[in-house]
Structure 1
Amino acid sequence: MNVSLILILLLVGAIATFLSGDKFASKVALLFSLAALVCSSILVNQFLGGINISLSNPWILQPNVSFALKADGLSLAMVLLTTSLLPLIVLSSFGNNFNNSKNFYGLVLFMAFAMVGTFLASDGLLYYIFWELALIPIYFIALVWGNGDTEERKKAVVKFFIYTLGGSLFMLIAFAYLYTKAGSFLLDDLTKLDLSTTEQTWIFLAFFLAYAIKIPIIPFHTWQAKVYQKAPTVGTMLLSGIMLKMGLYSVIRWQLPIAPLAAKTYMPVLIGLSIAGVIYGSIVALRQKDLKKLLAYSSLAHVGLIAAGCYTLTADGLSGAVSQMIAHGFVIVGLFFAAEVIFRRFGTYKIDEMGGVRSQASKFTSMFMILVLASVALPGTLNFIGEFTVLYSLSQVNIWYAVLGGTTIILGAYYMLKMFQNVMLGETNTKLFTDVTITEIIVFVIIIAFLLFYGLYPKPIVDLVMPSIKETLIQINR
């Protein structure tokens, strides 16, 4: 079995969901998302068993483009993240009624197909195609099924589309230049190029613009909060839980190995921008009165720390960044789902209209509290493993990076616990808040169990990704 099977399954799933009609679309999407999870698990087991599941076949002769998919520990970790979160995201939407649901769920699966392709592609042009394909479904998901004022939503979504598309064009130009030097788009060929310092600088900056917008890193973050707020919660989960990981993953897979001299030269600036995002996101989150916007800025702070770990160019930094990518994916999906559960009962995301939930819904309160504690990196959760490892790597570069980066824990604990107090505690709300349904419990329990299990036993994740990280470091230090 080769790794292309997972792509075929997701693409067929998107088509089947669209053809199934509105009545069965959600069930068909859930079925195919579970099948994708099973398939990716089998592929990982085969990879760990020493079977080569990568693929490379000629595709286009002129220019020389290959349909090349690289299945190593790093890419498979991201594929598993995608296929694990996908059924949870689909299942979490069962409490919503979407117009033209066959189109909605078909786009969700097509987006998963494009994101998995991005994680697996090892030919630059193929990678770019998947990268851009992932943008199309989320554009329509946010535009058509989003919430709030229609004009504001259109402005936010169009800004997001133009920003990301514009940044990606610079990456395409960089690939075109690299092709003139290597005669190939294959990652292995591009990393072997003997580029001058000037060439590496321009290539690095072109990639950085595309990734900084997608992650996002300040000052390229201005699209994020509005889109997270205006998109339907499923769209917000896809963006925050998986899509932003495309940028972080690409830093490790493409940017650092191709332009290592530039990465070393600009390390202080890159880490500084990333940590600035940590502090900025945390401070702005303190002032938010809308629950989804608060979580959006919280996400900005956390991914800033992950980006800082990537740019330390150390084994601990890269390993911690990958662990934190996975942990952040699960916890942010859980938190946005909690916001959606509250919205279903109260009909609002405004924090000052909430409160008094604990006295009506003890199960929901307990699960929400665990997610909040995981978000602030409580020991025993995977988030703690990731953040601690990243902060340790920052201290190896400069102790002040670790001190400033550590503000995400202090400020994060303050604004998240304050949010929990305002949303969940206080006198009983006049609005009825029924406790969680079986479907909602399943989603929360799976997310919490994952975060706690790998928080206590992170070895499988580390063992999976470490060989790829060591290979990347060899390429950086060549």
Structure 2
Amino acid sequence: MTVSILIFLPVIAALAVLLFKNESAKYAALFFSVVELAIAGVFLAKFVPDATSQFGIDVPWLPQMGIYFKAGIDGISMIMVLLTTVLVPLIILTTYKHQYKNANAFYALILFMQAGMLVVFTALDGFLFYVGWEAALIPIYFICGLWGGENRIRITIKFFIYTFAGSLFMLLGMIFLYLQSPNQTYDIVDLYRGARLATGHSSLIFWAFFIAFAIKMPLFPFHTWQPDTYTEAPSAGTMMLSGIMLKMGVYGVIRWLVPIAPQGVMSWQNVVMGMSVIGIVYASVIAFTQKDGKRLVAYSSIAHVGLIAAGIFAWNSQGLQGAMIQMLSHGINVVGMFFIWDIISRRLGTRTISELGGIAKVAPQFSIAFLIIVLGTVALPLTNGFIGEFLLLNSVYQYNIWFAAVAGLTIIFGAVYMLRMYKNVMQGTTNELTATFTDIHGSEKLALGIICLLIIGLGVYPQPILHISAAAVEHLIYIVKVSR
């Protein structure tokens, strides 16, 4: 059993979903995504949490150009596979109350996007990684462009130009390393060796990869595409972008950037740490001023990603472990938060916070789910957000106490604007608009229930997740240490 089944099943599923019409398309998409989750569960059950790459596939693709279809799963990849396979069925479930024109194409694109992201998270060949990187971009471009809001065309073109331009820098970096590698291949081991041979160009290699990953995350000041895209995209598209796709950039930094350009990272470490910390404060301050709930969550996401980036570039085991579990936690929380605003928008026709209030009085189950997601987002102890942020802040503190002091503001600021948002939306008296709000039921209750269970479960007992990635993280730190 190899990782190829995880990669190709969503492609086959997407083609099959295209054959279904209307309502049946979403049921087929959910079925295939649950099957994919079950297969990921089998991989997890057979996975040995050491530093090796398992369930590998390595077959010639374009061997005359040194390109192989090589992929596998280690502890770091396993976390990302779990993130992807858990969130995709949840995201599909959140769409059940929507009616989409050409629904079969919409759900097929989601499954195609899942396949591309799984290629990114398992690729052990640089060219294959790049193919997956671009393949995941194409479906979300059509999802946003065809089913997005009023300004979807302008916003989607901006998003595409940003991400595609960053990808070209990464491709140039890959080609340069290929030419430097001893065996003239894109194999990840050869690229690591090629980077060591090209130490005089370490800064150029660093920026070639960093720009691509920073745009995707997005990291300040490469973030300007994100709030508009998240706001204009359909809710499922926003969830795919924020819950999973931005983790491609974070994963790229861990798996490719730092091991490939360790000298470049050392040269620019303070600059990137400064960018990350500035992004935390900047996004938090902007979040305070937002009147649209979905846009507030978008800026909150930038702040959280800034902390993850700071923890990674501190480059110690606490930071990497914190980044791994925080990517999983952030994905769950942000999908839950965008689903909350999707429910409010669908029922009331607005996302303006000042027009809401008193919803808890008429929808108690919804208010409890909303509160649990908010508490996970602000990293309350015994919720999933706490352990990741604790480890990340610990790692930044080990690097520089002043960076840690400023980065810690993300917890304070986040608590203030998130709890204030909850108060303004859910507490107080109902008005003519919110008095008509109905409580959650059916697929809404199921999706929010699963999200809340994950938030509490990971918060109470995060050790299994940390155990999965621990050996792979330590091995990666060792590789970088030797390279330096």
**Letter of the structure 2 residue corresponding to residue 382 of structure 1:** N
Aligned partner of 2:229: which letter? V
Give the equivalent residue in structure 1 for 2:44. 44
For 2:481, the aligned partner's letter is: N
Cα RMSD (Å) of the superposition? 1.1
1:258-269, aligned counterparts within 5 Å? Answer: 258-269=260-271
Q: Is residue 49–residue 468 contact of structure 2 (8 Å, CA) maintained in 1?
A: no
SS at match of 1:109: helix
Q: 1:343, 1:97 → 2: CA distance?
A: 14
1:472 paired to 2:476: yes
Query: Quick check: 1:146–1:232 contact (8 Å CA) kept in 2?
Result: yes
Displacement after TM superposition at 1:192 (Å): 2.2
Q: How far apart, in 1, do the equivalents of 2:120 and 2:225 lie?
A: 22
What SS is found at the alignment partner of 1:67? strand
Task: Name structure 1 gaps, 5 residues minimum.
Answer: none
Q: Which residue of 1 aligns with 2:204?
A: 202
Q: Deviations over 1:259-316 (max 9, x none)?
A: 1111122111111101111101100000000011000000000011001111011010
Does 2:11 correspond to 1:11? yes
1:343-386 CA distance string (max 9 Å, x none): 11111111112112011001100110111111000000121000
Distance in 1 of aligned mates of 2:466 and 2:201: 34
Q: Distance in 2 between matches of 1:197 and 1:408?
A: 36
The equivalent residue for 1:35 is 35
1:430 alignment counterpart: 432
Note the 1:61-76 alignment, pairs <5 A: 61-76=63-78
Question: How many residues are paired up?
Answer: 475
Rounded to whole Å, the distance in 1 between the matches of 2:125 and 2:135 is 15
For 1:415, give the aligned amino acid: Y
Normalising by structure 2, what TM-score?
A: 0.97
8 Å contact kept, 1:191–1:475: no
Aligned partners of 1:443, 1:330: CA distance in 2, in Å?
A: 11
Q: 1:360 is matched by which residue type in structure 2?
A: V
Q: Matched residues in 2 for 1:459 and 1:189: separation?
A: 34
Give the Cα–Cα distance (whole angstroms) in 2 for the partners of residues 311 and 121 of structure 1. Answer: 22
CA contact (8 A) 2:364 2:439 kept: yes
* CA distance in structure 2 between the aligned counterparts of 1:426 and 1:29, rounded to whole angstroms: 40
- Aligned AA for 1:190? L
The correspondence for 2:55, drawn from 49, 53, 56, is: 53
Contact 1:46-1:53 at 8 Å conserved across structures: no
* Identity rate, percent: 45
The answer on 1:189 being equivalent to 2:193 is: no
How far apart, CA to CA, are the structure 1 residues paired with 2:273 and 2:97?
A: 41
The one-letter amino acid paired with 2:361 is S
5 Å-filtered alignment, 1:359-374, equals: 359-374=361-376
Q: Which residue is equivalent to 2:109? A: 107
Contact 1:346 1:354 (C-alpha < 8 Å) held by counterparts: no
Give the match's secondary structure for 2:343: helix
Change beyond 3 A, Cα 1:49–1:310: closer
Q: What corresponds to 2:227 in structure 1?
A: 225
Equivalent residues of 2:279, 2:302 under 8 A apart: yes
In structure 2, the CA distance between the partners of 1:168 and 1:7, relative to structure 1 (3 Å rule), is same
The TM-score normalised by the length of structure 1 is 0.98
- Equivalent-residue separation in structure 2 for 1:259 and 1:49 (angstroms): 26
CA distance in 1, matches of 2:446, 2:431: 26
How many Å separate the matches in 1 of 2:397 and 2:281?
Answer: 17
Q: Which amino acid aligns with 2:74?
A: D
CA deviations over 1:85-128 (Å, ceiling 9, x no partner):
01000000001000000000000110011001110111000110
- Aligned residues of 2:273 and 2:313 also touching (Cα < 8 A): yes
Whether contact under 8 Å (2:54, 2:72) holds in the other structure is no
Contact map agreement 2:49 2:467 (CA 8 A) in 1: no
Choose which of 398, 401, 410 in structure 2 pairs with 1:399: 401
Name 1:164's counterpart in structure 2: 163
Aligned-residue offset at 1:425: 1.3
Please list the CA deviations of residues 176-231 of structure 1 after superposition, one character each: whole Å capped at 9, or x if unmatched: 01111110101011112323443111111000000010000111101000000000
Q: Which moved more, 1:280-289 or 1:60-69?
A: 60-69
Given the alignment of the two structures, is residue 173 of structure 1 paired with residue 172 of structure 2, yes or no? yes
Q: Deviations over 1:226-257 (max 9, x none)?
A: 00000000000000000000000110000010
Q: Which amino acid aligns with 2:372?
A: I
1 CA distance for matches of 2:431 and 2:255? 49
Give the aligned residue type for 1:164.
T
Aligned-pair distance for 1:426?
1.5
* Contact 1:365–1:424 under 8 Å retained in 2: yes
| CA distance in 1: counterparts of 2:422 and 2:243, whole angstroms | 21
Aligned partners of 1:52, 1:305: CA distance in 2, in Å? 30
AA of the residue aligned to 1:162: I
SS of the residue corresponding to residue 54 of structure 1 reads: strand
Counterpart Cα distance in 2 of 1:470 and 1:127? 23
> Do 2:326 and 2:388's aligned partners in 1 also have CA atoms closer than 8 Å?
yes
The answer to whether the aligner puts 1:212 opposite 2:211 as a matched pair is no
**Equivalent residue of 1:19, what SS?**
coil
Contact preservation (8 Å) 2:49, 2:471: no
- Per-residue deviation at 1:428? 1.3
Letter in 1 for 2:24: F
SS in 1 for 2:314: coil
What does 1:405-444 align with in structure 2 at a 5 Å threshold?
405-431=407-433, 432-444=436-448
| SS in structure 1 of the partner of residue 112 of structure 2 | helix
Following superposition, the deviation at residue 438 of structure 1 comes to 2.2
In the alignment, which residue of structure 2 is the partner of 1:455? 459
Q: Does 1:141 align with 2:143?
A: yes
Q: Secondary structure at the match of 2:69?
A: strand
